[in-house]
A and B are shown apart, each in its own frame.
Chain A
Amino acid sequence: MKISSPLTRDFAPYFIGYLLAIVLTGCAFSCVYFRLLPPGLTFTIVLGLALIQVIVHMLCFLHVSLQRSARANLQLLIFSAVIIMLMVGGTLVILFNERARMM
């Protein structure tokens, strides 16, 4: 592999992404391992770290970017988000209703 400046430029997002992924995963696991905080707070922190890591993976590995992204790509993401909200919301309403009836 020839070392050149474009190669370094393309290598950077993968390297940074991997580094951030290791740090974020390490934080999440050590939060749970050392049990320094109450469970509720720890779980909130873990979820927050997961959200950040998902965004990091999207930006660094999948190369999703809002500036360069085409309108077609953005429309696709928004459409999927709406579908997911509708279906997840509907599922939760039905399941919680079922649970309430069984109590």
Chain B
Amino acid sequence: MSAEITDPELLQAGLNVAAEPREVREHAESDVLGFWVFLMSDAVIFALLFSIYGTMGNATAGGPVPQHEFKFHSAFWETALLLTSSFSYGMVSLSLKHTRHRIWPALWLGVTFCLGAGFLIMEVRDFLTLFHDGATPERSGYFSSFFVLVGTHGCHVFSGLIWIVLMGIQIAMFGLDQRTRLNLIRLGLFWHFLDIIWVVIFSVVYLGALIK
């Protein structure tokens, strides 16, 4: 089943497996497919959180309303940071494939980490402002669903940052061997996936509320 993924797909992702023995190639392919299964299960979680958020649109219970609480500029810059981090992770995959030296993937990994950390710091500051304004999760059904949805995404970004640090250590200790490359590909799928979730969040949650 796993052998049905064609070589170019993995090559594109930055794994030089074409010259490797068939067993290595098949192993790598099934590992990547397995990670897709995990991502899809994550997509189910986010789809459910979005559907609950959708039903809570007007459930502010007389408390703070989102159109006054959300800041246009911080939503914009958070989006810019995360989009750029997705591009810089693309450069990790690219340098994995096209350069021999481990410094390039490590460098782009560092750039991705800084952008992701910047995003998370901005988000935490937004949350603190919301708390200060009395828009806490227990205030209304709307803010319960908001914090669960956006908070779950934030937790994912945080675990992504930890994963980036771990990959930095792995690159430093083992270099770019087969295992490190596979882990970097899986981290890339995870990171790009989080970016897609954020696209839906900024459109539905932030812009959806600011339109009103």
Contacts and interface: CB of A to CB of B under 8 A. Distances in A.
Contacts of B95: 1
B171 interface: no
Interface in B85-123: 86-87, 90-91, 94-95, 97-99, 104
Interface stretch (B126-134, B155-163, B191-199): B191-199
Contact of B207 (A46, A57, A70, A72): A46
Contact of A47 (B43, B86, B87, B204): B204
Interface string B184-212: 00000100110110011011100110111
A83 to B, nearest CB: 6
Interface residues of B, number: 54
Given A18-B87, A46-B211, A84-B47, A72 B33 contact: yes
- Chain B contact residues: over half helix, strand or loop, or mixed? helix
Interface of B: 1-2, 4-6, 8-9, 12-13, 33, 36-37, 40-41, 43-44, 47-48, 50-52, 54-55, 72, 76, 79-80, 83-84, 86-87, 90-91, 94-95, 97-99, 104, 189, 192-193, 195-196, 199-200, 202-204, 207-208, 210-212
Contacts of A73: 5, 33, 36
Task: Please give me the 6 A-B residue pairs with the lowest Cβ-Cβ distance, nearest first.
Answer: A70-B4, A50-B203, A14-B90, A80-B40, A61-B192, A18-B87
Contact of A25 (B12, B83, B97, B208): B83
